[in-house]
Structures are given as C-alpha cells and as structure tokens.
Amino acid sequence: MASTITNTGLKAVVDALVADDVVKHLGWGTGSGQGATSTDLATAAAESRTDGTPSAVTTTTTDDTFRVVGTIVATATRAITEVGIFGAATGAVLRMYADFSVLNLATNDSITFTIDTVFDQG
C-alpha cells in the first residue's frame, strides 16, 4: 500500500509548528557537519539563543514551509559557520540545522537568519 501526506496535511504540520510558538530559538556556532541524529550545534558560540519569529510560507504548495527569522548579535569577534533552531532558549535539543561558509564578524556585528524548512511528499 502506498501512502502520502496531502498538501493540506503538509499545511497542517507547518501551521501546528507556527501555532506552538516553541521551535523558534536560534543559536549559532563555529562548527559544521551536524546530522539527523545531532542534538546540539557542533561548537556553540558564547551568545545566548535569540527568539526568532516563526511563520508559514509557500514554496511549492500553500504553507508547506516553516520559516523562522531572527537576528543574533556578536558579543566578540566570531567566525560563524552554523546555525540551529531549538525548542527552548536553554537546554533544548537541536530541531533544525544548517552550516555554511565562514562569516567573520566583529563585536556588535549581527546576522539576520531566515531559515526555511520545506515539508513535501518526497
């Protein structure tokens, strides 16, 4: 038997994440390579996690993408290479993760992250 989630099912998952208003705490670091079983950033930076703003956006079908937008400010010189979304400001496990080429920051520089997690039938 083949099964699939419908487009309205995808929308319901994203809408539930947005309504929950928990999976929105952004942290950054200087590591890379975290995988599907990782629970934290590879090397978290000293800055506290910041609250992002969750929303539903459309990539392929209506509201199939969970978006979190948030800004983190460097408290010292940093070479940032990873960002993650967590379910709490402290102590929660990693929910979504990305790594990228180094972004060198001076004290008080900031990065505004827009993190999209697309849900699809694939």
Q: Model pTM?
A: 0.91
Per-residue model confidence (pLDDT) at position 59:
95
pLDDT band for position 26 (cuts 50, 70, 90): very high
User: What is the residue extent of each domain of the chain?
Assistant: 24-118
pLDDT of 54-83, one tens digit each? 999 999 999 999 999 999 999 999 999 999
CA–CA distance from 101 to each of 4, 31, 33, 107 (Å)? 35, 10, 12, 19
Asked if residue 1 has pLDDT above 90, the reply is no
Distance CA 13, CA 92 (A): 20
